[in-house]
Structure 1
Amino acid sequence: MEKVTLNDQKARWIGTPLITIGLALYIHPEAFFPTVDWFEAWHWLSTSFLNTFFVWEGCRYIFIRSRVLYPNYSQTKKRLFYEAVVIIVYIFIITSIIDYGYCYLLLGKDLPVLFKGFKIGLIPTTIVTLIYESVFFFESWAADVKKSEILARENVQSQLDTLKNQLDPHFLFNSLNTLASLIDDENKPAQEYLDRLSDVYRYVLISKDKNTVTVEEEMQFLDAYIYLNKVRFRENLQIEKQVSRQTYHQQVAPLSLQMLIENAIKHNIISKDKPLKIKISEDGEGYLQVENNIQEKKTFEKSTKVGLQNIVNRYQLLSDRQVEIVKNNDFFKVKIPLLQ
């Protein structure tokens, strides 16, 4: 579980005495005005301090625990319900101990009115809870804005790189159409190859402006991409897909699966004696995984891992879950989170 840290030391040092004094003056002003009854004032200040201190520290711990258990924005209702139930139980117990243990047994005061301490304890509870929830809300909002800005910049940069490195899309499609007209109608393999190439390029152009696409869209694009590579490598490239129809409605980052397959093809030997086997499947824990056997090429060119790092960077912006990379002597596996 992710550790939650709060930068609230100053608030606790300042807030506890302020609430202590304010609570004592509000509940028992007769101890302070018109003249100060020092014994009564000390009694109510100390009682108010114990209530405020234990309420603040207890609610703080409960708030941290609830953020660990329910960290996502979609879990806000569960988190607030958990906080409310646990805090109410905690406040009842702690105020009962202070009322009967401190006020009655230690100071010898009369038995407090039933639930009076509990009702008073709800005042600092409400203040403390509002402080932490407000800070948490604005921190989450600021983090989301920052993520959106970073993602927008990455998309703009990606589009700029596309404009720098690729031909004008209309020119390319017109060229593909012209090429298709030059291919003999009886040459079905060439027509099919050209159609799939058009599908691949069309998907790249459409998806470049999207943060996520459905698994179904990505898999349809992948079929065209795999077809192009199968023409080149034939049975030396073996790709197996095991993805349920239910998963097709979930989301992934566009081109992420294609980049993983491209990496496998780029860095491994593919031959009749050493076929490259790639498997795309679900792991049952909300991830899609792409796994291939390792038979690395003997080359002096060192891998930059830019494509893989691109996927890792995008998922850091899209999800709290991280891309997982597993490598041993036999296989290389990358797991990408499924997005709702």
Structure 2
Amino acid sequence: MKNFKIREIHVRWVGIFLVGFLVMFTEQEGTQAAALPFWTHYFISVGFTAIYWNGAYLIFMRFRKVFPEISQTYKRIILTYMALFFWMSVGGIPFKMVLGLVEYTWSGVLLACSEYFLLNIILAIIIGTIYETVFFFEKWKESIQQNEELKNQQIRTQFEVLQNQMSPHFLFNSLNTLTTLIAENQQVAIDFTQKLSEVYRYILQNKERDLVHLHEELDFARSYLYLLKMRFPDNLTATFNVDKKYENLSIAPLTIQ
């Protein structure tokens, strides 16, 4: 019981029985439903409430999946409410026909659609507003958590960069490699020197930045990998497989390294 948390499914099914009870009192005198025995009337009311509410839940989940971003909130809300209004108007009609509460005629269907139209709209607005409010705050909380994680990653990255700058091992190893290349192949030594300057220029230019474009980070990683391959030509292999459409996204500097 210590780990028990109130979840949406708990609220939904408790709410179904409560709303089902309240809906009974909205039945107009003289209708077939109002003339039923209390418990029969109650369970039918709960059944229809369950049908409507669970259908509405599926609508919410569908549009959240299609339009998950905060920037898509207006589009998601408009389409969700349109689908909700339609569902609340016609969703239960087939079941009412099965129970004999609606005539198998067009006039019977139209009457059933309009009979509780105002109540259905009110319930759709109330339930929709609750779901959208909860979803908005969940996304807002996720956004805050992501920002905090990004800040923490940035601090760790800056610390690692500082460590790398303070430690001369990489530079000394690179210079030793360069000395060997100068004696063996001057053109390769020139290329190596250019890559080494690119690596340290990137580190110095971006150590204070929060984010860089992914294509910049990939270029740096390739230059860094080039230097390492000069030291370990046969013992180090790496491949880059990044779709072009992602290269303008942002990433914390030096994370690929």
Q: TM class by shorter-chain length?
A: 0.5 to 0.7
Partner of 1:59: 56
TM-score relative to the length of structure 2: 0.61
Task: For 1:127, give the aligned amino acid.
Answer: I
Partner of 1:249: 248
Match of 1:83 among 80, 84, 96: 80
More helix by share: 2
CA pair 256-161 structure 1, distance change in 2 beyond 3 A:
closer
User: Where does structure 2 lack aligned partners over 5 or more consecutive residues?
Assistant: 1-5, 176-185
Contact kept in structure 1, 2:21 and 2:42, CA below 8 Å = yes
Partner of 1:8: 8
Contact kept in structure 2, 1:17 and 1:49, CA below 8 Å = yes
Cα deviation, residue 167, structure 1: 2.2
Matches within 5 A, 1:37-56: 39=35, 42=38, 48-56=45-53
Matches within 5 A, 1:139-150: 139-150=138-149
Partner of 1:228: 227
More strand by share: 1
User: Where does structure 1 lack aligned partners over 5 or more consecutive residues?
Assistant: 1-5, 32-37, 177-186, 260-340
Matches within 5 A, 1:69-108: 69-73=66-70, 76=73, 79-80=76-77, 83-97=80-94, 100-102=97-99, 104=101
Matches within 5 A, 1:1-340: 7-25=7-25, 27=26, 39=35, 42=38, 48-73=45-70, 76=73, 79-80=76-77, 83-97=80-94, 100-102=97-99, 104=101, 112=111, 115-167=114-166, 193-210=192-209, 212-222=211-221, 224-229=223-228, 232=231, 248-252=247-251, 254-257=253-256, 259=257
SS in structure 1 of the partner of residue 198 of structure 2: helix
Q: In structure 2, what is the Cα distance between the partners aligned to 1:59 and 1:52?
A: 10
CA pair 117-78 structure 1, distance change in 2 beyond 3 A:
same
Cα deviation, residue 48, structure 1: 4.9
CA pair 225-232 structure 1, distance change in 2 beyond 3 A:
same
Q: In structure 1, what is the Cα distance between the partners aligned to 2:81 and 2:19?
A: 21
Cα deviation, residue 125, structure 1: 2.1
CA deviation string 1:69-90 (max 9, x = no partner): 5545455556446534543443
Alignment length (residue pairs): 227
CA deviation string 1:261-283 (max 9, x = no partner): xxxxxxxxxxxxxxxxxxxxxxx
CA pair 50-238 structure 1, distance change in 2 beyond 3 A:
closer
Partner of 2:181: none
- Choose between structure 1 and 2 for higher RCO, CA contacts under 8 A separated by at least 6 residues: 2
For the aligned residues, what is the CA RMSD? 4.6
CA pair 165-214 structure 1, distance change in 2 beyond 3 A:
closer
The sequence identity of aligned pairs, in percent, is: 28
- Indicate the larger mover: 46-55 or 139-148: 46-55
TM-score relative to the length of structure 1: 0.49
